[in-house]
Structure 1
Amino acid sequence: MTWVDAIGWLGAALAITGSAMKTIIPLRCIGIGANICSLIFSSFNHNYPSLVVNLILLPLNSVRLYQMLGLIKRVKTASKSDLSMEWLKPFMTRRKTKAGEVLFAKGDVADCMFFTISGRFRLKEIGIDLVQGQVVGEMGFMSPSNTRTQTLECLDDGEVLSISYDEVRQLYFQNPQFGFYFLRLTSERLFQNMERMEEEIARLRAAVPQAETVQKAATA
C-alpha cells in the first residue's frame, strides 16, 4: 500500500466517522479532514468527479464551521451582556413593515420571532414601545401552547428581521452550547418580565390607599 492509498483509506474512515457524529462542529471538522484526504487521493489518481466534489465541499464545510464557531462566541458574549441577540441576524430574513400593520396578535399561533431594525413598534397589552435592535416574539418558542401573549403593532414604517421557529430549532439542536445559551437568554428575559410585572403590582397596591384617602377627604 502506498502513502496515497493510505490517505484514501483515511479519508474514507473520516467520512464514515463524520456520518456518525451527533453534533455539527465535530461533523464539520471531520468533514474537512475527509475532504482534504479525498482531494489528495483524487488528484493522484486522476479521479476528477471526486476532485470536483471535494473542491466544492471543502470551502463549504469550512465556511459553515466558521459561522457556527462565530455564532457560539457571539451567544456567549450576549449571555453576559445586555441580552442583545444580534448574533442571529445572519440567519434572519429582512422584511418591511407599514404603519398600522399588526405583526402578530394576542392568541395567534407563534411561529417566528423578530428583530427590529427601524421604525416604532408597540406591545399593545402592556403599552411598551420597542426601540431599534430589540428581539420580540422569542418567548413563543418556549411556550408549550406556542401562542402569542401580546399584540405587536407597527406605529411607523420600518424594517424587521424575522426567523422561523423551525430555523431556531435547527440551530438549537445542532449544537448543545447554542441550546444552552439560547435557553439562558430567554430565561433571563422571562425574569425581566416578571420583575416588571412585580413593580407594576407594587405600584398599583401603593396607589389604592392613596385613592381611598382622596375619596374619604372628598366625602368628609
Structure 2
Amino acid sequence: MTWIEAIGWLGAALSITGSAMRTIIPLRCIGIATNVVSLTYASLMHLYPSMTVNLILLPLNGFRLYQMLRLIQKVKAASQSDLSMDWLKPFMRQRSVEAGEILFAKGDRADCMFYTLSGRYRLRELGIELPQGRVVGEMGFLSPDNRRTQTLECLEKGEVLSITYDEVRQLYFQNPEFGFYFLRLTTERLFLNMERMENEIARLRSAAKGPAETRAPVSA
C-alpha cells in the first residue's frame, strides 16, 4: 500500500469515526480533520468533485465549531454573571403604573412578566417590597397551569417594563444568556421562599412551645 492510499484510508477512518460521535464539538473537530485529509487525498489523485466537496465542508465545519465554542463561552459568562437584565430591556414594552393598581392577582391567568423601573411594588401575600430593577411574575411561566402565585400591587406611582411569555420562550431557546439568567432567577426565588417558609415554621413552633413550657404544674 502506497502512502497516498494510506492517506485515503485515514480519511475513510476519520469519516467513520465522525459518524460515531455523540457530541457536536468532537464531531466538528473530526469533521475538520476528515476534510483536510480527504482534500489532500483528492488533490493527489486529481479527484475534483471530492476536492470541491471538501473545500466547501472545511470552512463550514470550522465556522460551526467557532459558533459552538462561542456559545459555550456565553453560557459560562451567563452562569457567572450578576443577573443584570439591562440587555433585555429593548425586547420589553414600557408602561406607567398608578399607586394602588394591581398588576396581577393570585390565581389570575399568567401571560407576562415585569421589570420594575421606578416606583414601589409589593407582593401582597408574602409582604415583600420589591426594589427597582427586579424581575417579577416569572413564576407563573413555570407553574403547571400558568396561574399567578402572588398578588403584585403598586405602592407608589412608577414605570414597569413587560414581556409576554411567548416572547420569553423565544428568548429562552435563542439566547443561552437569558436561559441561564432565567434559571438562576427562578431558583433563587424558590430557595428564598423555602427559607421564609422554614423561618415561619420555626417561629410558629417556638410560639407554640413557649406557652407549654411556662404552664405551671397542677398540684394534687
Compute the TM-score of the two structures, normalised by the length of structure 2: 0.59
How has the CA–CA distance of structure 1 residues 189 and 81 changed in structure 2, closer, same or farther, with 3 Å as cutoff?
farther
How has the CA–CA distance of structure 1 residues 177 and 94 changed in structure 2, closer, same or farther, with 3 Å as cutoff?
closer
2:85 maps to 85
Structure 1 residue 92: deviation in Å?
1.2
Structure 1 residue 173: deviation in Å?
1.6
2:139 maps to 139
How has the CA–CA distance of structure 1 residues 184 and 131 changed in structure 2, closer, same or farther, with 3 Å as cutoff?
closer
How has the CA–CA distance of structure 1 residues 77 and 119 changed in structure 2, closer, same or farther, with 3 Å as cutoff?
farther
Residue by residue over 1:46-85, the C-alpha shift from the partner in whole angstroms, topping out at 9 and shown as x without a partner, is xxxxxxxxxxxxxxxxxxxxxxx8xx95x86564355443
Q: Structure 2: which amino acid aligns with 1:185?
A: L
2:98 maps to 98
Q: Structure 1: which amino acid aligns with 2:196?
A: R
Q: Structure 1: which amino acid aligns with 2:124?
A: K
Overall identity of the aligned pairs, in %: 72
1:166 maps to 166
Distance across 2 between alignment mates of 1:114 and 1:103: 9
Q: 8 Å contact 2:79–2:180 — kept in the other structure?
A: no
Instruction: Could you tell me which runs of 5 or more consecutive residues in structure 1 were left unpaired when the two chains were aligned.
Output: 1-12, 18-24, 30-68
Residue by residue over 1:15-39, the C-alpha shift from the partner in whole angstroms, topping out at 9 and shown as x without a partner, is xx9xxxxxxx96xx8xxxxxxxxxx
Residue by residue over 1:92-147, the C-alpha shift from the partner in whole angstroms, topping out at 9 and shown as x without a partner, is 11111000100000000111111111111111111111111111111111111100
Deviates more, 1:156-165 or 1:75-84: 75-84
Distance across 2 between alignment mates of 1:126 and 1:163: 23
2:154 maps to 154
Q: Structure 2: which amino acid aligns with 1:193?
A: N
3-state SS in 2 of match to 1:113: strand
How has the CA–CA distance of structure 1 residues 82 and 193 changed in structure 2, closer, same or farther, with 3 Å as cutoff?
farther
How has the CA–CA distance of structure 1 residues 76 and 125 changed in structure 2, closer, same or farther, with 3 Å as cutoff?
farther
Distance across 2 between alignment mates of 1:152 and 1:117: 15
Q: How does 1:1-220 map to 2 (within 5 A)?
A: 73=74, 79-80=79-80, 83-176=83-176, 178-213=178-213, 216=215
Distance across 1 between alignment mates of 2:150 and 2:125: 6
When the two chains are superposed, the root-mean-square deviation of aligned CA atoms in Å is 3.3
How has the CA–CA distance of structure 1 residues 175 and 161 changed in structure 2, closer, same or farther, with 3 Å as cutoff?
closer
Q: 8 Å contact 1:84–1:134 — kept in the other structure?
A: no
Instruction: Could you tell me which runs of 5 or more consecutive residues in structure 2 were left unpaired when the two chains were aligned.
Output: 1-55
2:45 maps to none
Q: 8 Å contact 1:111–1:165 — kept in the other structure?
A: yes
Distance across 1 between alignment mates of 2:111 and 2:101: 18
3-state SS in 2 of match to 1:185: helix
Structure 1 residue 149: deviation in Å?
0.7
3-state SS in 2 of match to 1:155: strand
3-state SS in 1 of match to 2:188: helix
